[in-house]
A and B are shown apart, each in its own frame.
Chain A
């Protein structure tokens, strides 16, 4: 016997708004998505952030103990921001590791732009801010502990005191690291849309291969043009041995500046833009 269908007892359907604007961005819907993104996998999201902070704390301590304060500050800042953000970004589109979660993510009633924006807010804004706050507290703690450990009556107290100071977020290194973290997270975001499984490892490998290829090609071209090359870094300089001295050939300003601006501002925009387009075109 055929099962009988019930009469419609449910509420009338929600009136569908079809405006392009509403289908691109809706603040309320974005709020739901943002909340979902943070709370859906809290262990992964917050647990990882905690772990990376712990790692950076240990790294800082080891580096300052066995190398120097400056090395500790630089390396922990670089790894915390670039490395930490790189891994965190891999979670953003990590749904594609399984058919079930990938389908679920893409069919969630949220626009592609909102999905992309949510990733950008977390990986591109929130994480760096939280990391820098953590870094400032950690750095201040270590520096204060060092200053307190000095004997004011000991010789060279002033020199030793002044030799260790807080890392300024406007220093040369942070200014290199800021675009770098956006470039790496942009690459990771694109990579996690191309490689569904173990995207983190595959993207890391792809970056290594890409970097070595560019470095090798650059070195090869530099070798063809100069003799006695000491070092050659892509888009930056070629160091040449002249006797016992090392001289550096740098790009002329009119070539250097556009490249510098592109790498610092253009490349992150291009990479994050490509990630959005790729998400929109993603089939699963």
Chain B
């Protein structure tokens, strides 16, 4: 579990990126963190793993204080940054040098994930393309079987088939004792994968809700004419009229469109908060 209480963080004390952020992330969910560029998505992830320290407030990850970077904490969490690092080692060499640090590492799973992600064992890892390197690190991270997995823009650099394989793999390895936290601005890559959506903007938590809850409270549909503009959180022109996000007053069933959801929440945060508080 990740427990954040009154977190304040900023690269400069006078310009805080997060002010008094309180958030609780329970195991058993795949979280999607959405935010604009510079909203502090990577910063939040770095606070979770202890690469950055809160200016105020507390973070506890599985009961550990990330700031201390204790090995017993780091064994239970894996962070894949947007840019990955691979040394000039072979797949075997990398596995031999790095897997001993992760007690729950499973070699069989590692090779299976490499296979599923179509990572070819062609000499040194640093000679692979960026996408291949990223898939290699994803396979290694998943095989480490850590309780918490933090992924920062994991699909950047992956081709379309790889993105699909990535989504399938994440879904297949997920178990109820894990937290997978994915930060991205490529919202469509998270479609059908995440359980819960977190949206941050201007240092504020605008939304933390399950996909079920969102589809219950909001309606995503296409209409030919705009009516009741006060109830519309977001609208955009589409071929058949307007794609809109409205309050789901008639208990309509609709598929959550993450892109529209994000625009709706960031454009009308007060209205969105009011809807989700009830």
Contact = CB atoms under 8 A, between A and B. Distances in A.
Interface of A: 1-11, 13-14, 16-18, 22-23, 26, 29, 32, 35-36, 39-41, 43, 95, 98-101, 103-104, 106-112, 114, 283-284
A16 B72 contact: yes
A31 to B, nearest CB: 9
21 contacts: A3-B168, A4-B171, A5-B174, A6-B172, A8-B177, A14-B75, A14-B104, A16-B75, A18-B64, A23-B70, A29-B71, A32-B101, A40-B97, A98-B83, A99-B82, A103-B79, A106-B69, A107-B78, A110-B74, A111-B69, A284-B46
Contacts of A110: 71, 74, 101
A contact face: mostly helix, strand, loop, or mixed: loop
Given A40-B89, A40-B97, A10 B71 contact: no
B84 A13 contact: no
A103 B51 contact: yes
B contact face: mostly helix, strand, loop, or mixed: loop
B38 interface: no
Contacts of B87: 40-41
A108 B74 contact: yes
Contacts of A40: 87, 89, 97
Contact of B101 (A6, A22, A103, A108): A108
A109 B106 CA distance: 16
Q: Which 4 A-B pairs have the closest CB atoms?
A: A14-B103, A3-B171, A109-B74, A8-B175
Interface in B6-49: 46, 49
A95 B85 CA distance: 10
Given A32-B100, A41-B88, A23 B71 contact: yes
B149 to A, nearest CB: 12
A5 B171 contact: yes
B72 A11 contact: no
A98 B84 CA distance: 10
A2 B85 contact: no
B194 to A, nearest CB: 9
A98 B106 contact: no
B200 to A, nearest CB: 20
A117 to B, nearest CB: 13
Listed residue (B102, B103, B147) with the most chain A CB atoms within 10 angstroms of its CB:
B103
A3 B166 CA distance: 12
